Structure 1
C-alpha cells in the first residue's frame, strides 16, 4: 500500500485561494477527489494526505468534510493562525476530528523575510509539540535557516520539510541549501518530503540528472526512515501528470531496499501523521 503524503484539492467557488488566479494556467480550475482517484488506482496509491491550499480555518474544515466522504483520504494537514488568541481552542476543536493530522501554517516575518519569534508564537509551537501535532513547513531555500531556529526554540516539535526545502537548483546556491538541510536533519523530530521536484527542473534539462544530487543529499541526511513520498498533485501538472512525478521518484531511488521503499512510500507517513 502506497501513501501519497502530499497533495491538494480545491474548489475555486469557495473564494479563499488568493494565489489561484487565471495566471496560474492549468491550475486555475477545480481539483477534487473524482479527478485524482483514477490516477491513484493506476499507480497503486491507496490513500493520500491532503494539505491546505488556503490560509483559512474554513478551508481546513472543507478538507475535513471531503475526508469524511472519501476513504482514499487518510488525513488532512490544515492551516492555523499561530498568533491567534484562540489558538488552543481552535486546535482542540480540530483535534477532535481523527482525520485532522497536522498543520501547515504561515509564519510572521520581518522586512527581510526572516521569521519573527514572539512569546505568542513560542507558546503556540509548544502547544503543538505537547499535543504531538506535526507542522509542515513550506519555505524557500533562503528561509531554511528559520527551521533551525524554530526547532531550537521548540526542540520537541515534529516538523516536516516540504519539497526537499525548495532548492533553486542553481550551482551557486548548492552549498547554503545543503548545509541547511544537514543542520535541520540533526533534529531527530525533522522529516522531509520528496515532493514538488518535477516542477523545479528548468525546461530542456533532464530531471534525473538535475535532481539526483539533491535527492542523494536528503537521503544521506535524513535516511530512509525520515523521508516521505509526495506527488504535490495537482501542482505537479505544471510540468507533468501524476504518473510522471511518481516515475521520476522511482528513477531517482533505484537502489532502495524493500525495507527502505516501504518506509518512504508508506510507514513514514503513517508514523509522522499518526495514521491507523
Structure 2
C-alpha cells in the first residue's frame, strides 16, 4: 500500500494572516461576546478598536491583552462611544481612522442590553422599552449607517450585526429585547441589497444561550440548567463559539455569505 503524500506544515512566521492590517471596530467589546470577538479578530491580524460605553478599565484590559501578544503594537486602542448617539458613532469611526491611518474595513456591532427582570409585555414600562430600543435598534442603525458610508469599498468590507436566536425561540419575558433584535435582522438584509456593487457584505450573527454576565443576569440556577438541557449539545455556548463565526464572516472566505442571519446556538433553535 502506497504511503500517502502529505503537505508540509508551514511554519513561516511572515505568513500573512487572514485579516492582516485590516481595521475593525467592535462595539461593546469591553466584555462578554464583544470582548472575545475583538481578541479573535486581532489574532487574525486585524487592528482593532475596542469600544466601550462607561468604565474604561475593562476596555483597557482587552487592549493590553491584544497589544501584549502583537508583533508590532499597538494593534488595539480603546474608544469610548455611546452607540445610541449619532455624534459618538461618527467620532468612533473618526478615532479608528486616526489611530491606524486607514479606512475602516470591518464593523462588528456587539453592543446590546436587556432587562434582567424579564418582564411580560403587560409589565414592561415605556422607559425600559425605549432604553432597549435606543441601544439595540437605534444603535445598530447608527453604526450600520456610518459603516455603509465609510467602510472600505472594492473588497474586504464587512458589516456584522449581533442579534439573537430568541427571534426564532420567541420566549416569554424577552418580547422587547427580541423585537429590538428582529428589527436589526430585517435592516441588515435590506442593507446587503442596498450595498450592491460595493463589495461590502452585511450579515447578522444570532447567538443562543452564551455563558456571559448578560446571560446569567437575573436567572436562577434551575433556569440555567433547564436552558442548558434544551440545547442538544448539552452545554451553554462560550463567547469564542460566536467569535469564530464572526472571524469567518469578516474574512475573504466569508465573502459569499451576504444578507444572512446565522444562528449560532448549538441547536437551541
Q: Identify the structure with the greater helix proportion.
A: 1
Greater Cα radius of gyration, structure 1 or 2: 2
Query: Scaled by the length of structure 1, what TM-score is found?
Result: 0.37
Normalising by structure 2, we get a TM-score of 0.38
